């Protein structure tokens, strides 16, 4: 079986899945359709574009590697094979334990302060403490991101936000 045939079969399978989601959404109420129906329509559109692109442009476009990797840039072991484990320099001082602590901090913020303060505090803290942004720019990005999430979920989808364990103290 050729690669093109495999791609077409997967695309048809995706069309069937998205079509099934679209068909199932018809029994939902108007608010319950807000997420799955647009996603299914968007998925169908992208899958159809992919089908047309792969089948119509296959003869004219040369086969190419989508991602080119410079083999010399990959650090190898003594036998020339690429190393698969991460070095201490890549992981930083805290390593994987630090990544787990960051996720635990985000979850603790969500449960205690609620979703919107947690998004703001976590994003601002990450952007500023990691040195990715200046403090003013990090705070500005955090405000814009928190506002966008608020407008999407509370304004657009009319969902009631979770106020966290500390929310009862501020009422």
Same domain membership, residue 47 and residue 3: yes
Host domain of residue 108:
93-170
Give 97-147 as a DSSP string.
HHHHHHHHHHHHHHHHH-HHHHHHHHHHHHHHHTTSS-HHHHHHHHHHHHH
- Same domain membership, residue 101 and residue 45: no
Same domain as 101, residue 37: no
Is residue 48 a part of any domain in this protein?
yes
Is the overall model pTM greater than 0.85, yes or no? no
Q: How many domains does the chain have?
A: 2
Residue 70 in any domain: the answer is: no
* Each residue's pLDDT expressed in tens, for the chain with a length of 171 residues: 888 888 899 999 999 999 999 999 888 888 888 888 889 999 999 999 999 988 886 555 455 556 666 666 666 655 656 556 655 565 566 677 777 888 898 899 888 888 888 899 999 988 888 888 899 999 999 999 999 988 888 887 777 777 777 777 766
Answer with the one of 12, 37, 59 that is the final residue of a domain.
Answer: 59
> 154: closest CA among 115, 107, 108, 109?
115
């Amino acid at each position: 079986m050729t690669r093109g045939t495999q791609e077409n079969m997967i695309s048809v399978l995706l069309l069937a899945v998205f079509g099934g989601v679209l068909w199932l959404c018809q029994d939902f109420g108007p608010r319950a359709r807000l997420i799955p129906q647009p996603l299914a329509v968007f998925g169908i559109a992208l899958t159809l574009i992919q089908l047309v692109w792969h089948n119509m442009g296959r003869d004219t476009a040369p086969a190419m590697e989508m991602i080119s990797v410079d083999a010399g840039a990959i650090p190898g072991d003594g036998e020339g094979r690429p190393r698969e484990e991460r070095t201490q320099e890549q992981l930083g001082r805290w390593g994987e334990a630090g990544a787990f602590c960051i996720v635990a901090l985000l979850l603790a913020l969500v449960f205690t302060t609620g979703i919107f303060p947690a998004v703001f505090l976590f994003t601002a803290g990450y952007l500023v403490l990691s040195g990715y942004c200046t403090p003013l720019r990090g705070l500005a990005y955090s405000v814009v991101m928190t506002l966008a999430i608020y407008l999407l979920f509370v304004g657009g989808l009319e969902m009631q936000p979770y106020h966290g364990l500390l929310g009862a103290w501020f009422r």
